[in-house]
Amino acid sequence: MKEEIKQRLQRNETWQRGLYMLFFIVIYGFTKFLVFIVMLFQFVTIILTGKTNEQLLKFSQNLSTYIYQIVIFLTFNSEQHPFPFSAWPDGTPDNRGQYLKK
């Protein structure tokens, strides 16, 4: 049993995944702040113009999909690395962590 654990600890793939996870935890923290900024900007826009900013709606949908991709990667539900190691999402996520085009 100890030998199996020792072999798992020596695998480079495990440590690489750990480094990617640390990187995406930092990105996840930044995206939470970005969601707050988008929310405030959209709120101010609706007060001033009476309607939502369409470009910001699309960006916020893609940002939400990106956050979803990060979470499913961090929770081991996907092995696909999110942006910047793959394309920026364009649309809503499906249940496999991919995204559906609008």
Residue 8 clears pLDDT 90, i.e. is over it: no
Residue 4 clears pLDDT 90, i.e. is over it: no
Nearest to 67 by CA among 57, 55, 79, 82: 82
Higher pLDDT pick, 93 / 15? 15
Nearest to 84 by CA among 6, 10, 31, 13: 31
3-class SS at 51? coil
What is the per-residue pLDDT across 9-64, written as a single tens digit (0 to 9) for each?
A: 888 888 999 999 999 999 999 999 999 999 999 999 999 999 999 999 999 999 99
At residue 96 the predicted structure's pLDDT band, cuts being 50, 70 and 90, is: low
CA 89 to chain centre: 9
Domain that holds residue 53: 2-100
* Tally of structural domains, the chain: 1
Q: Which amino acid is at 35?
A: V
